[in-house]
Amino acid sequence: MLFSLTRSRRLVPHWRLVLQCRNIKSENTARAAVLDSTISAFRSICGEDNVSVGEAVREQHGKDESVHRCCPPDVVVFPRCVEEVSGLAKICHKHHLPIIPFGTGTGLEGGVGAVKGGVSFSLRSMDQILDLHEEDFDVTVEPGVTRKALNAYLRDTGLWFPVDPGADASLCGMAATSASGTNAVRYGTMRENVLNLEVVLADGTIIHTAGKGRRPRKTSAGYNLTNLFVGSEGTLGIITKTTLRLFGIPEAMVSAVCSFPSIQAAVDSTVQILQSGVPIARIEFLDDVMIDACNRFSRLSYPVTPTLFLEFHGSERSVEEQVNTTGDIIQSNGGADFQWAQDTETRNRLWKARHDAWYAAQALRPGCKAYATDVCVPLSQLPQIIVETKKDLIENKLTGPIAGHVGDGNFHCLMVVDPNNPEEQHHVHLFSERLARRALAMDGTCTGEHGVGLGKRALLCEEMGPMAIQLMHCLKDTLDPNNLMNPGKVLLPRQL
């Protein structure tokens, strides 16, 4: 393949060349020496208080919400503007220090761990909402702005940003991982809702993926750099600004909960609702184990059977009609106990129960941690994969309630794992690999929305095939020839 040539361009830093025959401990010592000499340079850029080598701060920046072990960076910097990010990146580039962007740490695939040491760029101090254009339905945010903060800011404008992965993640972090969540079936994922990005590359260069300040709602101007960085998980550059599409807040929102006699009946209803053209905003599946956990955790009393949580957005009349059409479809599939929630309080309680599924799952086994699988398959494959997966869970005596964004074919097993039981962890790992391969065999993906991070690099190779993986390596080499940007994530090291 022609572009394998690029590999030769990866430069090896001096201190690594010196050490290449020694062990990793020595390498760490050498890096520590380099770091010592750079700390003062970092401080001269972003101020004494915005550079930390304290153990607690480093620990906090070495892990996300996943089960991946904590890999603390050597130092954490807190830049306050893009110029500081660029200046800090230039120092890292000069000294060949890894750069790991850090948003809110709410990722689920170990994306922020400093597996090769280096410098964590915490972007929380860059928290300005810039350039809101109400008439144009767009806004630009810095990387410290979370989705809830943006929506609170927008409250009086009649606009909102609907992409909702559950956690109150930073919007630039959501762009970096190509996040989506419950509203994607109607409003799309980050891929469809990012108009422009400001990115600092590995050498400190600042680029704007759609040209500086540009925000047309569509464009055919050159290569789509925006979507090259969306989902790149910090391995190609640091996102320092995101321009987002906004939407009008619907006049009416109605939520509903409905129980089904079988998984097939719930999924058949989903397909028919989509086929009928109902512009459903959310359609979430919970299996019997998940709804039972939610009942216990959130003090609810839904029937313990496969369940759909639904939400309809639109004008009063349109919502009424959506609800009627959906009600007919659900009834014809044997759905029962169709429960409504129109007032904000009841709706919020309902969706809080759904968003708390993560904690509800963990509460099934006190002292345990949750690990979420994240496959996505074509809709028609959902019943089969869920049934097979539940059988697998039972056969292997694993706790893994299922919740899913079934309108997109995306679902999660929330595996509840004893962090002190390596054997169990190994079993869960094998289970999640079997699940991912089941999805791949059904034309699906090993990750619908959490990203690859550390844990799915081998699965990504199976999913994409060697040629597409080689192309991804070449893109990485082109943008980051020294492998400084969040090294060790997304792509496995190449076989030399």
Interface of this chain with a copy of itself, residues 184 to 203, rule: CB under 8 A: 184, 188-189, 191-192, 201-203
Nearest to a copy of itself of 58, 96 (CB atom): 96
Residue from 48, 49, 277, 395 binding a copy of itself (CB under 8 A)? 277
Question: Of 442-471, which residues contact a copy of itself (CB under 8 A)?
Answer: 443-452, 456, 460, 463-465, 467-469, 471
Which span sits near a copy of itself by CB under 8 A: 74-82, 146-154, 221-229, 280-288? 221-229
- 282 near 329, Cβ under 8 Å? no
Q: Give me the residues paired with residue 370 across strands.
A: 416
Closest separation in Å from C-beta 478 to a copy of itself: 5
Of all helices (H) and strands (E), which one includes residue 207? strand 206-208
Which of 155, 317, 352, 391 is in the footprint of a copy of itself by CB under 8 A? 317
Nearer to a copy of itself, 58 or 450 (CB): 450
Find the shortest distance in angstroms from Cβ 90 to a copy of itself. 11
φ/ψ (deg, to 5) at 214: -80, 145
Residues 6+ apart with CB under 8 A from 370: 358, 361, 362, 414, 415, 416, 417
Among 20, 23, 156, 222, the residue binding a copy of itself under the rule CB under 8 A is 222
Displacement of CA 232 from its chain's centroid (Å): 11
Positions in 384-423 near a copy of itself (CB under 8 A): 408-410
Q: Give yes or no for a contact between 378 and 409, defined as CB atoms under 8 angstroms apart.
A: yes
| Contact window for a copy of itself (CB under 8 A) among 40-48, 146-154, 289-297, 312-320 | 312-320
The residue within the footprint of a copy of itself, chosen from 21, 23, 37, 217 (CB under 8 A), is 217
**Binding-site string for a copy of itself from residue 228 to residue 267, where x marks contact by CB under 8 A and - marks none:** x-xxx---x-----------x-xx----------------
Residue 214 Cβ vs a copy of itself, minimum distance, rounded to whole Å: 5
Q: List 404's β-bridge partners, or say none.
A: 285, 411
How many of the chain's residues bind a copy of itself (CB under 8 A)?
108
Considering only the stretches 114-122, 148-156, 338-346, 374-382, report the one whose residues sit in contact with a copy of itself under the rule CB under 8 A.
Answer: 374-382
Out of 38, 122, 209, 373, name the contact with a copy of itself by CB under 8 A: 209
Site for a copy of itself contains 26 (CB under 8 A): no
Site string for a copy of itself, 48-77 (x = CB under 8 A): ------------------------------
Look up tokens 């599924």; give the residue: 357
CA angle at 319 for the pair 314 and 320, rounded to the nearest 5°: 155
Give CA separation, 23 vs 73, 97, 214, 323, in Å: 19, 18, 48, 64
Q: Which of residues 107-136 bind a copy of itself (CB under 8 A)?
A: 133, 135-136
Q: How far apart are CA 244 and CA 197, in angstroms?
A: 9
Judged by DSSP in three states, 425 sits in: helix
Measured CA angle at 285 (ends 453, 359), to 5 deg: 60
Q: How far is the CB of 459 from a copy of itself (least distance, A)?
A: 8
Q: Site for a copy of itself (CB under 8 A): which residue of 47, 327, 334, 481?
A: 481
Per CB under 8 A, 321 contacts a copy of itself: yes
User: What is the secondary structure of 466-479 as a DSSP string?
Assistant: HHHHHHHHHHHHHH
One of 116, 215, 241, 354 touching a copy of itself (CB under 8 A): 215
Question: Which two tokens mark 171?
Answer: 């919007």
Are 341 and 415 spatial neighbours (Cβ–Cβ below 8 Å)? no
In sequence order, the 6+-apart residues with CB closer than 8 A to the CB of 467 are 1
What does the alpha-carbon distance between residue 236 and residue 467 come to, in Å, rounded to a whole number? Answer: 20
